[in-house]
Amino acid sequence: MKKYFNKVLIANRGEIAVRIQRACKELGIQTVAVHSTADSDAMHVKLADESVCVGPPQAVNSYLNIPAIISACEITGAEAVHPGYGFLSENAHFAEILEAHNITFIGPTSEHINIMGDKITAKETVSNLGIPVVPGSNGKIEDLNHAKKIAKDIGFPVLIKASSGGGGKGMKIAKSQNELEEAFNMAKIEAKASFGDDTVYIEKYLETPRHIEIQILGDKNGNAIHLGERDCSLQRRNQKVLEEATSPVIDALKREEIGEIASSAISKLGYHGAGTIEFLYEDNKFYFIEMNTRLQVEHPITEIITDCDLVKEQISIAAGYNLSKKQADVVIKGHAIECRINAENPKTFIPSPGKITAYHPAGGPGVRVDSGAYSGYTIPPYYDSMIGKLIVFGNNRRDCIDKLNRTLDEFVIEGVETTLPLFKDLLKNEDIISGNYNIHWLENYLENHP
């Protein structure tokens, strides 16, 4: 077995911290968990070889507390840090500080995080590398007159977006010239309040696209590959709810075409690590919206259909090895669907933290559950409400849906409310069964099924 690192610190919590520990253990790497005082009993702490408390419950004082996390590395002698997703995973400053301490950041360089973290720079960069982007302003919008000119050129409806945006914040639609001034001002105010930066740009608002993203991997030796697409069009408030791979609307030829564009751009950029290039897809065309320079929540569906462990790849890339696969070795097989299980009311989506009194995950062939939940675990109210992911593999889409139906019936979580019933309802719907949906479908469905 290759010795990538002796000890890795995982700067995260919940299901993703457990997921990363599993990869480390299989690679013979010692694991260090960090946790807040609210997470002392969490699964990721129980499973780690060592753990360090890095602060009080609020994430800003614990999981985002860079000095405390660096101290935890120094105390435990961790040689590398895996940031998971969220928290510090796309924080270029954190990556730089680790570099300065001679600790390896399991992810791309701080320079690449910075480029992709600013949406205007990201769009410009990828466009120069041959990736198709949504028509719009090539750069920042200076003032209302500038906005009017661009909107006139591309045609309404338009979307005003925050350059530092994330989580769907700082985005406003203007359907006509009358709505432009208000949308422009509101987007700027929201961007300033959420990100401390009111830089905005304009894009053509696509009315019925799907959200399709390409998984890429690059190593430090200039190799880059893609692992096909994930369809994440089922969203509520711009948050993904259910994801599937492959997409019901992408055939092998289209996959190869966009995948080749994505991996060659990554290779030209000299990007290393895992990454996701997100596109909107409408009328058989792809339009780049952003690149995430980290592991995604929905990475398991790609792992299953490509037989590739993305976390192990990230670790091996960080240690300087070549990718384990060449493009020709990537074979896509079958179909996978992931359901995000949130501790929330399935109708109102109001979080439901508290004690899980009974927990029996589903099982059987082709079923994977990534979770930090267990019977007797108390879900703290301080973090996001996702408590696990149910991931199902089938030989084809129909087989996968049948298996998911069976699995949802088996899964038991008591004591808190969860979104499991929502998935049972969705799987009865003809549009879902036939794969006929776009990014607005779920919001419309929820409005009609209160």
Q: Which residues bind ligand ADP (CB under 6 A)?
A: 134, 159, 165-168, 203, 205-206, 209, 211, 235, 238, 278, 280, 289-290, 439
Cβ of residue 350: shortest distance to ligand ADP, in angstroms?
22
How far apart CA 325 and CA 227 sit, in angstroms, is 10
The smaller minimum CB distance to ligand ADP, of residues 206 and 420, is found at 206
Cβ-in-10-Å burial (0-12, 13-18, 19+) of 162 comes to: buried
Rounded least distance, CB 167 to ligand ADP, Å: 5
* CA separation for the pair 233, 218 (Å, rounded): 26
Integer angstrom CA distances of residue 195 from 25, 168, 354 = 37, 12, 31
Closer residue to ligand ADP, CB minimum distance, 139 or 364: 139
Asked if 317 contacts 220 with a C-beta cutoff of 8 angstroms, the reply is yes
How far apart CA 273 and CA 310 sit, in angstroms, is 10
- Comparison of 11 and 280: residue with beta carbon closer to ligand ADP: 280
Question: Closer CB to ligand ADP, residue 184 or residue 359?
Answer: 184
If the CB atoms of residues 30 and 91 are measured against ligand ADP, the closer one turns out to be 91
Task: Give me the active site residues, please.
Answer: 294
* Listed residue (114, 123, 162) closest to 289, CA to CA: 123
Q: How far is the CB of 323 from ligand ADP (least distance, A)?
A: 26
Pairwise CA distance, residues 122 & 278, whole Å: 12
Residues 47 and 362: their CA atoms lie apart, in Å, by: 21
H helix count then E strand count, the chain: 15, 20
Locus of tokens 């564009």: 261
